[in-house]
Structure 1
Amino acid sequence: MRKLFKQIAENLKDHRFMHSIENIEVVVSKLLSLFMVIVIVAAIIDLGIFLVQELFTTPHGKFNTILFEIFGLFLNILIALEILENITGYLKKHVLQVELVIVTSLIAIARKIIILDLRKVTGIDIIGLGIAILALSISYLIIRFSNKQNN
């Protein structure tokens, strides 16, 4: 009987420890969410300032050269939103959603390709980006296919 009580006491200690770890994870996730919101707001303000400056200071006909920079800033905000969605999804389900991580990675690589200066990169860089896109796309298809089968 004494062994049984000792076993129960040890299990309660383990349960309390795991519960405290889960509480720490929730606090950290909430802090990350708040910090990500601050980053998103700062990025939007930065984008707004950049747009206003470029719209009024760029000579007519030269706006196309800045367009890729603007697209990069937009995609930065979109990536930050995806990361925030990853964090809030973790808070809701306590599971990291691999599909969202892969989509975020694809957006990040798309951003890299959009702002890519072809005069400054080598062929191996472009091949590497292509392989990364292919691998992430295949991973995304596998995850989507397996999610459809599980539902």
Structure 2
Amino acid sequence: MKNFIDYLAELFKDKNFLKIVHITENIVSKILSLGIIIVIFVCIIDLVFILARYVFVTGELGFFASTVFEIFGLFLNILIALEILENITVYLRKHILQLELVLTTALVAVARKIIIFDPKQYEKIDLVSLGVAIICLSASYWLVRKSNQDKLDKNH
């Protein structure tokens, strides 16, 4: 029992504990990367099947008129998943969360909502809310970008 307590005491020293945290972060990041890669490929397969169904099965003329927003949404879902994968990849490389990249991903996600926005399904206030979100995210992105640029200018 004493050996076990000594082992735990050694394990929980700052240096050793931080090493365990670092290893855990790496493992979780890699699992998330694999998961998002699977999601990306499933989304691509889904998009191919949907496009094939509309082009070859339904054969409707002007089918894009009714489904263009759905198809755009699927493309943007894949783009958002790629952005999330990039966030995870940067974290694995540098072990930091890049706020600029996170804000870019959020901007793409909100832009997706605006692009596929159906005014028949939602209230006008919902569109206004999305607009406010875009303005806030854009301002945040600009501030972070400017701050990063100022730091680079001071260092050179």
| Distance in 1 separating the partners of 2:109 and 2:13 | 43
Moved over 4 A (4+): none
User: How many residues in Structure 1 have an aligned counterpart in Structure 2?
Assistant: 143
Letter aligned with residue 95 of structure 1: I
Q: Which runs of 5+ in 2 are unaligned?
A: 1-8
The worse-fitting range, judged by mean Cα deviation, of 76-85 and 49-58 is 49-58
The worse-fitting range, judged by mean Cα deviation, of 86-95 and 60-69 is 60-69
Q: Would you say the 8 A contact 2:54–2:63 is kept in 1?
A: no
1:145 aligns with 2:146: yes
Tell me by how many angstroms 1:63 deviates. 2.1
Q: Which residue is 2:32 aligned to?
A: 32
What's the CA shift string for 1:64-95, capped at 9, x where partnerless?
21111100000000000000000000001110
Q: Would you say the 8 A contact 2:103–2:137 is kept in 1?
A: yes
CA RMSD in angstroms, aligned pairs only: 1.6
The SS at the match of 2:13 is helix
Q: Which residue is 2:3 aligned to?
A: none
The SS at the match of 1:22 is helix
Tell me by how many angstroms 1:58 deviates. 4.2
Q: Which residue is 1:92 aligned to?
A: 93
Letter aligned with residue 19 of structure 1: K
| Distance in 2 separating the partners of 1:107 and 1:97 | 16
What's the CA shift string for 1:81-120, capped at 9, x where partnerless?
0000000000011100111111111111111111111112
1:16 aligns with 2:16: yes
TM alignment of 1:31-110, pairs within 5 A: 31-56=31-56, 57-110=58-111
1:125 aligns with 2:126: yes
| Distance in 1 separating the partners of 2:95 and 2:139 | 25
| Distance in 1 separating the partners of 2:66 and 2:16 | 58
- So what's the TM-score if we normalise by structure 1? 0.90
% same residue:
54
| Distance in 1 separating the partners of 2:147 and 2:90 | 19
Q: Which runs of 5+ in 1 are unaligned?
A: 1-8
| Distance in 2 separating the partners of 1:79 and 1:61 | 28
